[in-house]
């Protein structure tokens, strides 16, 4: 289901269904037997120590794992009615529906405008009026419009780190995806820029299903509706606990979770 | 104290070396100007040589040189770009076929130009029946220039941060769009450097051209005509023509000017490319 406008979290209607997911790189398992449901128009935080497979999980959701030589993905992922891991699935169509923002801001070495317009053109959006409207809308959504509207023709690389990251979010949401994947989007930013980005991430929930990987427990607590903790056991990442964020933080059921949240682990 | 003296010696040596290099270039230019500047004028650049090159100009030779270089670049640029793209984007580093291509490139780069000349003569002139022609010469030089062009382009493409590819992939850019809009523009300055280096090597070439484009000094009427390049003209004047020294110097001066022009054009183009990418 898709939401328009108002916040509507229906926890029992999963939008993303991950069943028994396993990932390995060059026959070394990274993630095993992971099942996770993500409801529509919510923010799910994936937390856990480094190397526990958080980013691998994200990369499966838009099949970025296809680009990694030697990677193998097993199990089943559905996003809406789309079978993500089915080899017959059109990967470009999938990635249009599932946007992604990386840890390090990744603006292309082009002007701010071209960063947006080239991406839209890739998806056949070339009508001048529509392009202009979409770009302005997306830049407003991330609070960047009034900061850059007079210098859209200048290099995106001249923006500050926080602005670059918001441009990347704008570039992703301009394609009107259903899902936005955020891979530690604030960890390369200073606290103030990080706060600004975080505020806009919270807003995204109104229109998108958001999955965010973060190292920052406080951030997970602030922005997310649901939290999933991944943990490495026997050298393989597994899901330890998953539930509403408030519940998980106030009353973790699993001993690893409580130890991790108290800072005794990881 | 000892280390301070070592520093001083090192600095003095570095200064002297740098000064020496500058002096060598200055001497060359000075000699060329002293002997050649007197003959260098518009008529020299546009008229045909007379009396085996002792009199007249180098018009047809400039034209042949331009045509040979044009053939070289028209062939080497697409082939070089495509090979570099293949090596960086389509094969995994260390794959068997990729390594084979790399190995043949290294081999190609180490082949002396006289061997290219003999090969060009055997293959392009005789086997393909192109005869002594500008086309044969241009194709031979293309083989020579390819390794340089491919290597610099490859470096340029590999220097594009992996994040750019990931981001493009995540935004559902097709492979060709990523290449065309993001990777090749980013590699353009490197490609231009490769072109300049390649053109520099090609324009300086005599050995590879003697056997392929020949040394007819008439104005070429087509690519199938034989044509004499600037460096062959210089060689011929100074070795075979008594009293041809003045023209040889003037021709050398022209050659240097052509090279400088190519360099200048290349850096202007590189800047243009960067500016165009930023426009709205």
List pLDDT tens digits, range A150-188.
999 999 999 999 999 999 999 999 999 999 999 999 988
Residue in B with minimal Cα distance to A175:
B171
Q: What is the pLDDT of residue A266?
A: 54
The alpha carbon of residue B190 is apart from the nearest alpha carbon of chain A, in Å, by 16
CB contact under 8 A, B166 and A102: yes
**Residue A108 and residue B167: Cβ atoms within 8 Å?**
yes
Rounded-to-integer distance, Cα B67 and Cα B273, Å? 25
Length of chain B, in residues = 280
Return the closest-CA partner of residue B30 out of B260, B231, B253. Answer: B253
Give the pLDDT band of residue A6 (cuts 50, 70, 90).
very low
Q: Which of B166, B170, B277 sits opposite A110 (nearest CB)?
A: B277
Grouping H, G, I as helix, E, B as strand and the rest as coil, residue A264 is coil
What is the pLDDT at residue A50?
87
Q: What is the pLDDT of residues A57-92, one digit of tens each?
A: 999 999 999 988 889 999 999 999 899 999 999 999
Instruction: Supply the pTM of this predicted model.
Output: 0.81
Contacts (Cβ under 8 Å, ≥6 apart) of B204: B231
pLDDT at A34: 93
pLDDT value for A7: 46
Place of tokens 């903790």: A229
Tell whether B163 lies on the interface with A, counting CB pairs under 8 A.
yes
Q: For residues A217 and A227, what is the distance between their CA atoms, to the nearest angstrom?
A: 10
Residue A27 neighbours by CB under 8 Å, 6+ apart: A70, A72
- Mutation site, B170, B180, B181, interface A, largest A CB count within 10 A: B170
pLDDT tops 60 at residue A233: yes
Q: Does B186 touch chain A (CB under 8 A)?
A: yes
Chain A 176-215, residues with CB within 8 Å of chain B CB atoms: none
pLDDT at B92: 73
pLDDT tier for residue A2 given thresholds of 50, 70 and 90: very low
- The overall average pLDDT reported for chain A is 90
pLDDT at residue A57 in the model: 94
pLDDT in tens, B219-258: 999 999 999 999 999 999 999 999 889 999 999 999 999 9
What pLDDT sits at residue A234? 87
| Residues of chain B below pLDDT 50 | none
Pairing relation of β-strands A43-47 and A209-213? Answer: parallel
Q: Please give the average per-residue pLDDT across A99-113, as a whole number.
A: 93
Size of interface A-B (CB pairs under 8 A): 72
Cβ count within 10 A of residue A113: 21
Q: Report yes or no: B2 at the A interface, CB cutoff 8 Å.
A: no
Q: What is the side-by-side strand order in the sheet with A209-213?
A: A82-83, A71-79, A14-25, A28-39, A236-244, A226-233, A43-47, A209-213, A179-183, A98-101
A62 or A265: which carries more pLDDT confidence? A62
In A, which residues are within 8 Å of B169 by CB distance?
64, 67, 95
Whether A12 has a pLDDT exceeding 70, the answer reads no
Q: Is a pLDDT exceeding 50 seen at residue A35?
A: yes
């Amino acid at each position: 289901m898709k939401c328009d406008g108002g916040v509507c979290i229906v926890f029992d209607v999963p939008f993303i269904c991950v069943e028994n997911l396993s990932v390995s790189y060059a026959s070394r398992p990274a993630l095993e037997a992971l099942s996770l449901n993500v409801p529509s128009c919510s923010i799910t935080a994936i937390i856990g120590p480094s190397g526990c497979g958080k980013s691998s999980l994200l990369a499966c959701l838009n099949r970025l794992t296809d680009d990694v030589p030697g990677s193998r993905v097993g199990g089943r992922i559905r996003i809406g009615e789309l079978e993500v891991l089915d080899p017959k699935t059109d990967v470009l169509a999938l990635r249009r529906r599932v946007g992604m923002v990386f840890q390090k801001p990744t603006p292309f070495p082009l002007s701010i405008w071209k960063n947006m317009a080239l991406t839209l053109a890739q998806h056949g959006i070339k009508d001048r009026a529509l392009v202009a409207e979409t770009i302005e809308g997306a830049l407003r959504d991330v609070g960047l419009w009034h900061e850059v509207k007079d210098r859209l023709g200048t290099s995106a690389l001249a923006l500050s780190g926080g602005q670059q990251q918001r441009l990347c979010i704008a570039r992703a949401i301009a394609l009107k995806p259903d899902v936005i994947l955020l891979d530690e989007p604030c960890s390369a930013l200073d606290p103030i820029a990080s706060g600004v980005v975080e505020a806009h991430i919270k807003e995204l929930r109104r229109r998108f299903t958001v999955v965010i990987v973060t190292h920052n427990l406080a951030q997970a607590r602030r922005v997310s509706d649901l939290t999933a903790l991944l943990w490495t056991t026997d050298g393989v990442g597994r899901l330890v606990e998953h539930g509403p964020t408030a519940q998980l933080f106030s009353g973790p059921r699993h001993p690893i979770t409580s130890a991790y949240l108290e800072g005794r682990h990881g | 104290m000892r280390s301070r003296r070592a520093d001083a010696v090192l600095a003095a040596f570095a200064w002297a070396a740098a000064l020496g290099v500058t002096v060598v270039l200055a001497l060359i230019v000075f000699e060329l100007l002293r002997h050649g500047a007197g003959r260098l004028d518009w008529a020299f650049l546009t008229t045909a040589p007379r009396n085996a090159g002792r009199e007249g100009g180098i018009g047809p030779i400039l034209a042949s040189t331009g045509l040979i270089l044009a053939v070289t670049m028209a062939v080497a640029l697409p082939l070089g770009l495509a090979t570099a793209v293949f090596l960086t984007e389509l094969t995994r580093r260390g794959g068997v076929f990729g390594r084979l291509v790399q190995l043949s490139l290294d081999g190609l780069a180490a082949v002396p130009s006289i061997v290219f000349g003999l090969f060009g003569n055997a293959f392009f002139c005789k086997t393909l029946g192109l005869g002594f022609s500008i086309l044969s010469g241009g194709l031979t030089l293309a083989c020579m220039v390819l390794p340089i062009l491919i290597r610099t382009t490859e470096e340029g493409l590999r220097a594009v941060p992996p994040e750019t590819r990931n981001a493009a992939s995540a935004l559902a850019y097709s492979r060709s769009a990523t290449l065309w809009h993001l990777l090749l523009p980013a590699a353009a300055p490197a490609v231009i450097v490769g072109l300049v280096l390649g053109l520099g090597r090609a324009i300086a070439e005599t050995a590879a051209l003697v056997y392929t484009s020949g040394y007819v000094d008439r104005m070429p009427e087509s690519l199938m005509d034989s044509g004499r390049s600037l460096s062959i003209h210089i060689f011929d004047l100074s070795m075979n023509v008594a009293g041809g020294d003045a023209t040889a110097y003037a021709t050398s001066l022209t050659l240097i000017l052509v090279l400088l022009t190519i360099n200048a054009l290349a850096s202007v183009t590189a800047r243009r490319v960067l500016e165009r990418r930023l426009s709205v």
